[in-house]
Structure 1
């Protein structure tokens, strides 16, 4: 580590943005500004949600939880995520 954000090898820093439901045309504008966009599709159809709910209820789909933090420890959770070595979800509870 060199003590500053971004790459320490002299290369240009990478900027990334993750969006759900990004508007059309945003990807080209972001790429022109040197920002990579990762998008996620979200299904909201009732039948699909009922199927996923059932699979979760019977434990056919189980998310991997790396660690659970109290909301007061959100900064610590964020630092863990920033390490880039988390396998699973980091959960905040109220």
Structure 2
């Protein structure tokens, strides 16, 4: 699992880079956003990021993904992501999740 840095306000902009290993046949990546609190972290929402377009084109332009909770289908925010795909030799030792 990878984490962003902690937000300092209510409208965070992260501008961070993450690298994920994708197993052969995996067509989605899941992202979860939480609100960090002293006692426990509250889930803001999550989303599934389809990878098919990035596999075909090598990249996906900046795209917004709605964050939702499983019990509440309303949008609880958005993630704006720019995706790139770089093929590498598959090695089980490098797969972390």
Structure 1 length normalisation: TM-score?
0.24
**Larger CA Rg, structure 1 vs 2:** 1
- Determine which structure has greater relative contact order: mean sequence separation of CA pairs < 8 Å that are 6+ residues apart, divided by chain length: 2
Bigger proportion of residues as strand: 2
Structure 2 length normalisation: TM-score?
0.23
